[in-house]
Structure 1
Amino acid sequence: MGAAPPPMPNEGTLIKEVEGGVFEEIAYEIPVREEDLVEELAEESEDVLGQELGEAEEVPETGLGATAEAPEVLLRGLAEKPPNYIEAVARSQREAEALQQLARDFERAQKEQNEAEERAAVEAEEAMVGEVLESEEALSWPAEFEDGPIYEGPPPDYGPRFHQYTRDGSFHGPSVEVSLPKEEFVYPIADLLRRTHIHHVREAAERNYGGAGLPLSAETITGKRSGNMGPVGLLATQRHMTEIEGDAFMAGFMPAAYASSFAILREVRRRMGSDWIQSKLKNGGQGLSVLDVGSGGAGLVAWEQILNAEWDLLKENGEAEGRVPPGQKTAVAASDRLRNRLKTFLENTTFLPRMPDYEHSGEMRGPRLDGGDKALPRKSYDVIIASHQFLKESESHRRQAVLNNLWHLLKKDGGVLIIQEKAHPRGFEAVAHARHTILNSFLLPQSGEPRVAPEDFNATYHREPEPGHVVAPCTNQTTCPMYVETGKSTGRKDYCHFSQRFVRPNFYTKMLRKHADNHGEVEFSYVAVQRGVAKPARPTGKEATERAQEGYENSDTKPDMQTLPRLVLPALKRKGHVTMDVCTPEGKIERWTVPKSFSKMAYHDARKSRWGDLWALGAKSRVERSVRLGQTKEMSKRAEGSRKKAHKSALAEEEGEADNREVRKRKQPRSRKQKKLDMVAEMRRAEEKEIDELADEIEAEVEEEIEEEEKRRRQ
């Protein structure tokens, strides 16, 4: 027999025993896997590749099939080699087609994998960029505006179209919105905050200022005002402050505190005039000393803006020389961590860990226990800005101690004390109570006569009054019409407060979770009092109010701005007339109406008037407006007593009325039937009376018998 043909690579042979002990060969087809075919081809092609390249002896002993990467290497080589290489390696047409198909599949899979990796890389990069730019949890703080924000619409025009007295009495001036100084305030704070994650700073701010939106900060955003009538959560006077709380104070409190302080100082400067500041700056003056209590230096930055404006005017007129104006700045920062932050951008500033203590006997007449009859030297200031210092004290005697301390630190020859609190009923009551105490206990009345006669003056109980007056916002020096009764009032709806719009820095916007809104508005209640200078003898009270109603539009004499009514609410603008709620120099809240027929100029300016302005152009009519003040404890007690007295009177009247009805009934004429009925009723009453008397007699006799029986028994 001839030799059997060689088996095909995918054929197998089995030996099967049949009958008779004979073995039979059975051929079958072996299924081939692509991996096995690749390994087999790789092993068989080693020698061929070596012979073609002349490097068969340098092939490693392991061979291509000995490594895990051999199939991938071979497929990559097949994909890179020209087709004639596959034909040379393949031993048959079938192997050549299989190798070509494998090479094409590998090339396609490699291409798809590369494209998928590129797409994933691009998507990851875009996600990372978007997270850095848009996410709240970004590691980097947002950059500040370099060129300033873009405002919607032009600023209000206070040009020649407005009356001069309207411009002089404006509370906000030409621009309703103020921008915070970037070089002196915004950029330094932003740089200090970059070393801490924004998420941690916001958490600390919300923890100290009442939660999301910071309702217990200087600014209370819309939607967070209801029910939040507490004091500010974190102040510069707090002794213990962590590192993150120091950042939270700068980021969550100081921007709004600057805006409110700037608005108040701007109004004080307008009402007192430029001479108040320039007189101590020009001709080598020592300048003014300023103390900031509570805002951590935000009030000092606002004061610098006012002071630098006056300094530039003096330099233009040749009355002053130097780069910076003279003066002293002092800020109270109780925490070391906060002081270390503030001193990096508050230049030439003295920091105190607490307010200096006042001297108890410093203002008393007669001999002093600690210094005889000579006053001891003490530190004093021209301007004191006290921010949120009264509402945080719940007891009245502590508030009185804070006021005494501030007043003793104020210079006697014209020092100005500014007190501000949050704009809600409790904050207004704290400011109004301080104003009431100063006017009634510290200052002389406008008449100049002391309230206590010299022979009745007792240095133990009385304070020697001195000249002084309220600079702003009040134009009256009497009882506040919104604080007639002292103390806490429940149900109060009307209270004196004002507002100031400002541009929020980006870091402050992040604290409020306002990603796109950088327009803020802080509301506040305040009072500014000057010590040692009495108000000039100008028309006051009812006379000033009547003169202001007539208007100064065509007057030859310039009005004193501190004798004009002030708008305490936004004006109501209707077709053909404007209604304004004002606080008059007489000490009343009135509603003034300026129709179009009254005056063309007055009507034009009235439609452009804003909350807080002084009004000098008169009105056609005015009526007293009812003020919703709520009820204090004393008012509640008086009301309860009145109700009880009225109830007793009503009862007495009812009893008296019943007696009168009985008398009138007896005096009326009676008919026969009524006479008979009355006679029968009288007989019944007589019988009942006789029966009662007989029963009493029987009962008495029975008792006597019982007593006699008891006597006999005892005997």
Structure 2
Amino acid sequence: MTARDSFVNVWNFYGVRIGSLQLRLLSTSKCARQEAAATAASEPSNSIEQVVRDAKQRFRDTLPKNYLNDEEYALYVRLYGPPLRETDPEDVGIHMHADMGRSEPPVKSQPDNEATLLREVEGRYEEVAYHIPPKEASGEDQSTIQAEETSLESDETRPAALEAQGSLEKPPTYVESVARSQREHDALQKLAQQFEETQKEQREVEAQTMQDEVEVENLQRVEEVSWPAMEETAAEEEEYEHGSARQRYHPLTEAGRFHGTPIEVLLPQEELVQPITDLLRRTHIDHVREAAESVYGGPGLPLSPEMVLRRRSGHMGGVGLLADQHHMTEIEADAFLAGFMPAAYASILATVREVRKRLGSDWIQSKLKNKGEGLSVLDAGAGGAGLLAWEQVLNAEWNLLIDKGEVRGHQPPGRKTVIATSERLRNRLKTFLHDTTFLPRMPDYEHSGEMRGPRLEGGSQQQPRKSYDIIISSHLFLREKESHRRQAILNNLWHLLKKDGGVLIIIEKAHPRGFEAVAHARDTILNQFLLTPSGESRIAPEDFNPTWHREPEPGHVIAPCTNQGTCPMYPEPGKSVGRKDFCHFSQRFVRPSFYNQMLRKKVDNRGEVEFSYVAVQRGVSRQGALPGKEATQLAKKGYEKSEEQPDMQSLPRLILPAIKRKGHVSMDVCTPAGTIERWTVPKSFSKLAYRDARKSRWGDLWALGAKSHTKKEVRSGAPDDGGKRASAEVRQPRTTRVDMDEDGTTETVLHDRKSKGRKRQQDLLAELKRIHAEGDRLLGEEIDAEVIGEDPELGRHRRQ
């Protein structure tokens, strides 16, 4: 017999002994539990107290369902009071030891022809593998090996060896380790099963959510448009079939699109979603959600950028928490990142994409090609969400220039600035906003004097001031109640904007008060800051006062308006009561998982943010723009077969989703003439126009004309005068006339106006009863007087 065979025999012998010992231990534990149960049955008084004490010790202030019988529960309540609630798996530590007892993946065993020896090297031992050459066994050795194998696999030792091997491979679970009785074992086992089912459902939901995000990401990667020229955009095919041939949309229809492809915006994972997810891991998500609901108006976050439809009329205030708030706690800074930035990013991305489409690529590429500072952007209010949205547009233009070989480098040049007042918020934003300047407040150049002169050491040269090519003002105006404060914010933003083509974007929430804040800022810019489209000042030279008026300069409204005059939905400045029609738009986006948790959404990750906005360019006027009425007339005829390309900013814009009927499509548009009209495109007008009209979306520019046009009355409400108009009205008093017949039994009540409400009816009935009672009394007195006059004795008897 070789050394290897001896080692195998010894190993098998001790393996069987070890397995039998473990089986004895397990059987002893099982017998102990059975003996404890039998003892509990034989000693009822002691067992009840012991069961109650064990339940209190195991489950603390909770209790599993139907764990104690009536007698035991009565004793439990008398000793410890009623339990707080039903026991959860987390109360007994199952969530921390869920993986205890699970079998590990099998380790690949060593081949039979290899072995390992330990060799001492400098006081340490190292493993040395060697190869065992094959050896043919003699007849005597073969019989010896067969006899040993037969003895090992006898009826007595084989089951014990198998059970021992099973016990070695599968250690006891957490429930089996901590259970002290069969009752505890059953209760803990149910909680463990409940925890496993919950984890399984959660994994399925997370897998489905991840799959949806991957599908949307793949779809966006496949269909992503890298800001091509208008001719290239028009060449993109859409899924529309007419017979066997695939047809395309009209090029002007494609150029007038408000939404990109796909419609849903996917938030950038590396730049926004993943950094915020990592920051939120430091705090339990329930605490972050409670803080978000505290600062953003309760469940559903009605005071966040995303509008809650069912609460549109009840919450017309601004956003609850902005980046320029002076003091933020740690949890409020997390709540801002989780509850504000996703929806703010989607709305700002929609606006900057529309601005880029209307202005073209030259205004960006011309600054990128110059070896200078590039483009500078200021994010005021969005806490960095505006910067991330702007970078999507900027990087697309930069990649186009790289493909043409006109620029070099990985990152486009430029300055990025964010207003973040709280230090706690700045520390979080610095982790994912790189190469960014953080300002504690907005610079105020309007009230500062010239930075030169004898009092300064800067010399006679004027000191440079900060100015920006793009300023994104997010939800800054609506939070201010007084008009002079809004005017101060607007003046400050206008001073920070560059005079040679700077763009100012103002965004507010999509409700009447938010629209009025945007419309007031637009009306102020047009009437006080800019010249008319003809180049004339809106203020007569004799009325111009440098103290009160500023020198007007060129400029124009980029989007969404196609007219440079008074907004048709804002004919009178100020707050309006009962406003039903207001200009606003929407953008769909894919909600990240942490934002769904803020909204208490488990499965649905489809979000939609509605907003009102206006974009204005300073220092550049529209050259060769047609008058509003003339542009409207040409747009009504349509440019379907026109060889001349129209100015996209002189086309009407859809202010609501199109109404699709059988055979025709109705669209509510805002025309360049400054009117709200309903245009109808039937199938008989043009097949191509009818098809494109059915595929049109809210916010698109329409260039293919219409067959009929009807002016639509705007429901702008009445000016809010604080209730003075209602109190000044003189209400007509109520008059009541009662007619009685000759016999005094019939009454007729006439009113000058109808009564309203139950109280008025009750007052009227009480008045009628009083009149009836008064009539009966007078009639009785007259009868008594007549009787007394005829028979004095009867009258004397009645008086007695």
TM over 0.5, yes or no?
yes
Which region of structure 1 is more displaced relative to structure 2, 222-231 or 407-416?
222-231
Match of 2:191 among 124, 134, 143: 124
Give the 3-state SS of the residue equivalent to 2:576 in structure 1. Answer: coil
**Could you report, residue by residue, the CA deviation over 1:283-302 in whole angstroms, capped at 9, with x for unpaired residues?**
43421000001110001000
The amino acid across from 2:441 in the alignment is: R
The amino acid across from 2:668 in the alignment is: D
Q: Are the counterparts in 1 of residues 556 and 564 from structure 2 also a CA contact under 8 Å?
A: yes
1:325-364 to 2 correspondence within 5 Å? 325-360=412-447
Give the drift of 1:571.
0.4
TM-score with structure 2 setting the length: 0.63
State the distance in 1 between where 2:446 and 2:321 align: 28
Give the drift of 1:376.
5.4
**Count of equivalent residues:** 535
TM-score with structure 1 setting the length: 0.70
Instruction: Tell me which residue corresponds to 1:574.
Output: 661
Q: Are the counterparts in 1 of residues 323 and 421 from structure 2 also a CA contact under 8 Å?
A: yes
1:302-341 to 2 correspondence within 5 Å? 302-341=389-428
Match of 1:508 among 595, 611, 615: 595
Give the drift of 1:462.
0.9
Over the aligned positions, Cα root-mean-square deviation in angstroms equals 3.5
State the distance in 1 between where 2:671 and 2:460 align: 43
Match of 1:439 among 520, 523, 526: 526
Instruction: Tell me which residue corresponds to 1:261.
Output: 348
Q: Are the counterparts in 1 of residues 653 and 701 from structure 2 also a CA contact under 8 Å?
A: yes
State the distance in 1 between where 2:593 and 2:416 align: 28
**Could you report, residue by residue, the CA deviation over 1:392-442 in whole angstroms, capped at 9, with x for unpaired residues?**
000010000000000000000000000000000000000000000000000
Instruction: Tell me which residue corresponds to 2:259.
Output: 172
Instruction: Tell me which residue corresponds to 2:502.
Output: 415
Instruction: Tell me which residue corresponds to 1:651.
Output: none
State the distance in 2 between where 1:379 and 1:153 align: 41
The amino acid across from 1:580 in the alignment is: M
The amino acid across from 1:486 in the alignment is: P
Instruction: Tell me which residue corresponds to 1:148.
Output: 213
1:160-239 to 2 correspondence within 5 Å? 161-239=248-326
State the distance in 2 between where 1:153 and 1:291 align: 32
The amino acid across from 2:248 in the alignment is: R
Give the 3-state SS of the residue equivalent to 2:418 in structure 1. Answer: strand
Give the 3-state SS of the residue equivalent to 1:145 in structure 2. Answer: helix
Q: Unaligned 5+ residue runs, structure 2?
A: 1-31, 39-178, 224-235, 239-246, 733-800
State the distance in 2 between where 1:143 and 1:335 align: 37
Give the drift of 1:282.
1.5
Instruction: Tell me which residue corresponds to 2:553.
Output: 466
**Could you report, residue by residue, the CA deviation over 1:584-638 in whole angstroms, capped at 9, with x for unpaired residues?**
0000000000000001110000000000000000001101101100011469979
1:550-629 to 2 correspondence within 5 Å? 550-629=637-716
**Could you report, residue by residue, the CA deviation over 1:47-105 in whole angstroms, capped at 9, with x for unpaired residues?**
xxxxxxxxxxxxxxxxxxxxxx9x969x9xxxxxxxxxxxxxxxxxxxxxxxxxxxxxx
**Could you report, residue by residue, the CA deviation over 1:248-292 in whole angstroms, capped at 9, with x for unpaired residues?**
001111000000000000000000001111111124342100000
State the distance in 2 between where 1:369 and 1:595 align: 72
Give the drift of 1:378.
1.3
State the distance in 2 between where 1:579 and 1:147 align: 34
Q: Are the counterparts in 2 of residues 158 and 167 from structure 1 also a CA contact under 8 Å?
A: no
Give the drift of 1:128.
3.1
- Structure 1 residues 150 and 142 mapped into 2: Cα distance closer, same or farther (>3 Å)? closer
- Structure 1 residues 319 and 127 mapped into 2: Cα distance closer, same or farther (>3 Å)? same
State the distance in 1 between where 2:436 and 2:562 align: 34
Give the 3-state SS of the residue equivalent to 2:564 in structure 1. Answer: coil
- Structure 1 residues 152 and 505 mapped into 2: Cα distance closer, same or farther (>3 Å)? closer
State the distance in 2 between where 1:243 and 1:205 align: 12
The amino acid across from 2:631 in the alignment is: A
The amino acid across from 2:575 in the alignment is: K
- Structure 1 residues 131 and 479 mapped into 2: Cα distance closer, same or farther (>3 Å)? same
Q: Are the counterparts in 2 of residues 283 and 319 from structure 1 also a CA contact under 8 Å?
A: no
Give the drift of 1:368.
14
Instruction: Tell me which residue corresponds to 2:481.
Output: 394
State the distance in 1 between where 2:653 and 2:449 align: 37
Give the drift of 1:198.
0.7
Q: Are the counterparts in 2 of residues 482 and 496 from structure 1 also a CA contact under 8 Å?
A: yes
Instruction: Tell me which residue corresponds to 1:666.
Output: none
Match of 2:330 among 209, 218, 243: 243
Q: Are the counterparts in 2 of residues 292 and 386 from structure 1 also a CA contact under 8 Å?
A: yes
State the distance in 1 between where 2:590 and 2:647 align: 33
Give the drift of 1:374.
8.6
Give the 3-state SS of the residue equivalent to 2:377 in structure 1. Answer: strand
Instruction: Tell me which residue corresponds to 2:774.
Output: none
Instruction: Tell me which residue corresponds to 1:79.
Output: none
State the distance in 2 between where 1:393 and 1:590 align: 33
Match of 1:485 among 567, 572, 581: 572
Give the 3-state SS of the residue equivalent to 2:368 in structure 1. Answer: coil
State the distance in 2 between where 1:192 and 1:144 align: 21
Match of 2:469 among 382, 389, 411: 382
Give the drift of 1:224.
3.0
Instruction: Tell me which residue corresponds to 1:661.
Output: none
By relative contact order (CA 8 Å, sep 6+), the higher-ranking structure is: 1
The amino acid across from 2:192 in the alignment is: E
Q: Are the counterparts in 2 of residues 381 and 411 from structure 1 also a CA contact under 8 Å?
A: yes
The amino acid across from 2:435 in the alignment is: N
Give the 3-state SS of the residue equivalent to 1:385 in structure 2. Answer: strand
- Structure 1 residues 143 and 154 mapped into 2: Cα distance closer, same or farther (>3 Å)? closer
State the distance in 2 between where 1:72 and 1:629 align: 84
The amino acid across from 2:282 in the alignment is: R
- Structure 1 residues 369 and 524 mapped into 2: Cα distance closer, same or farther (>3 Å)? farther
State the distance in 2 between where 1:135 and 1:319 align: 51
Q: Are the counterparts in 1 of residues 358 and 649 from structure 2 also a CA contact under 8 Å?
A: yes
Q: Which structure is larger by alpha-carbon Rg, 1 or 2?
A: 1
Instruction: Tell me which residue corresponds to 1:668.
Output: none
1:92-111 to 2 correspondence within 5 Å? none
State the distance in 1 between where 2:712 and 2:258 align: 23
State the distance in 1 between where 2:679 and 2:460 align: 54
Give the 3-state SS of the residue equivalent to 2:369 in structure 1. Answer: coil
1:36-115 to 2 correspondence within 5 Å? none
Give the 3-state SS of the residue equivalent to 1:582 in structure 2. Answer: strand
Q: Are the counterparts in 1 of residues 217 and 266 from structure 2 also a CA contact under 8 Å?
A: no
Give the drift of 1:175.
1.7
Instruction: Tell me which residue corresponds to 2:83.
Output: none
State the distance in 1 between where 2:455 and 2:576 align: 41
State the distance in 1 between where 2:325 and 2:208 align: 30
Q: Are the counterparts in 2 of residues 578 and 593 from structure 1 also a CA contact under 8 Å?
A: yes
Give the 3-state SS of the residue equivalent to 1:261 in structure 2. Answer: helix
State the distance in 1 between where 2:511 and 2:355 align: 22
The amino acid across from 1:178 in the alignment is: V
